Amino acid sequence: MYLYLGIIPLSLFIIFLISYLIDPRKIINGFLFNFFLITFLTFCLAVSLSSEQYILKLAIIIPIAALLLLIPFAIVAFTVALFLNARTLMRREGRRFANSLTLLLGLAIVAYFIIGSFNLTGRFPLEFQPFFAATSFVIMYFLFHVSNFLSAYFLYQFNRPRLHQDFIIVLGSGLINDKVPPLLASRINKAIDFYHKQAKVTTPPTIIFSGGQGPNEGLPEAEAMQKYALEKGIPLKHTMQENKSVNTYENMLFSKRIMDSLKPKYNSIFTTNNFHLFRAGLYARQAGLNSQGIGAKTAFYYWPNAMIREYVAIVVMGKKRHLIIISIVFFFAALLSLLIYLVN
């Protein structure tokens, strides 16, 4: 009987695989994968518990029990790691708000557990309790959302474009003293590496350097990026500039216009840093560009803070949907609070 339950995770995996192969640039892919994983683990647990094989039962039960016991220690370790990462990042990159996101997340986790441990919400009148419940629901909603985002993000890292591209778009990230900084250089180097790999087997692609001129920059990013690539040995005839864009969406949209004007049908990819890869893919989709990305490695100390920033940006991209859900939750909380007040 339990074997028939295996159809559920198998079906979910097939649905996930089809969705991923059609377009890996979707957060729903993370949801489908997580749903498959939960049902698969549940299926394994059910089969092991129903089995007469004692060793099989232990093989499933012991890891699950160990995982449950480790969760509190993992939360503490994660919180400590956030504070340590914030210290390292601020020392290396400077004390700016953009570099304090891991610190703020660590403080939020500590505050949440302090409020829960001392039951501070219980000291408020009964009419306020629906709002605390609504807040907890919203927190759970975003934990669910961020788990889907992280799964979709990690799955997208496995995307490997084929060596038959007509164009490579390199996304700008800002200049320092009108020079290409290490973060941006890693994106260009990723494109150069792909260029050489493809050139060995077929026609080399054209590299489009995408980035406009910032308020404190003496030249467009695209010009500095192109100069950097030429110094690395890329022929001028295989490079182009897109020097009007000021954000990732415009990088995609303006580069698409250039490619559309040059070739009616083409294959293209884009390069950026791995933490930015998934969100850039979403912008490419919004711009109507059928282009997948490859990510350059990022220093480990920089990655956690960057991922928080990426998630905040993802939330902002879907702000209307999130605001509707939050508004509905607190609307019902307000109604329940009013009802409690009237009854009392």
User: Helix, strand, or coil here: 221?
Assistant: helix
Q: And the tokens for 21?
A: 């192969």
Q: What is the pLDDT of residues 233-287, one digit of tens each?
A: 999 999 999 999 999 999 999 999 999 999 989 999 999 999 999 999 999 999 9
Give the Cα separation of 121 and 123 in Å (integer): 5
User: From the CB of residue 4, how many other CB atoms can be counted at a distance below 10 Å?
Assistant: 7
Which listed CATH number (3.30.950.10, 3.40.50.620, 2.30.40.10, 3.40.50.720) goes with 167-298? 3.40.50.620
- Nearest to 26, CA basis, from 148, 171, 161: 148
- Nearest to 85, CA basis, from 236, 302, 343, 288: 302
**Extents of the domains making up the chain:** 167-298
Q: What is the pLDDT along the chain (344 residues), one digit of tens a residue?
A: 556 778 889 999 999 999 999 999 999 999 999 999 999 988 888 877 777 777 777 777 777 778 778 888 888 888 999 899 888 888 887 787 878 899 899 999 998 888 877 777 777 788 888 998 999 999 999 999 999 999 999 999 888 889 999 999 999 988 888 899 988 999 999 999 999 999 999 999 999 999 998 888 889 999 999 999 999 999 999 999 999 999 999 999 999 999 999 998 999 999 999 999 999 999 999 999 999 999 998 888 888 999 999 999 999 999 999 999 999 999 999 999 999 888 87
Torsion sign (Cα): 195, 230, 217, 261? negative
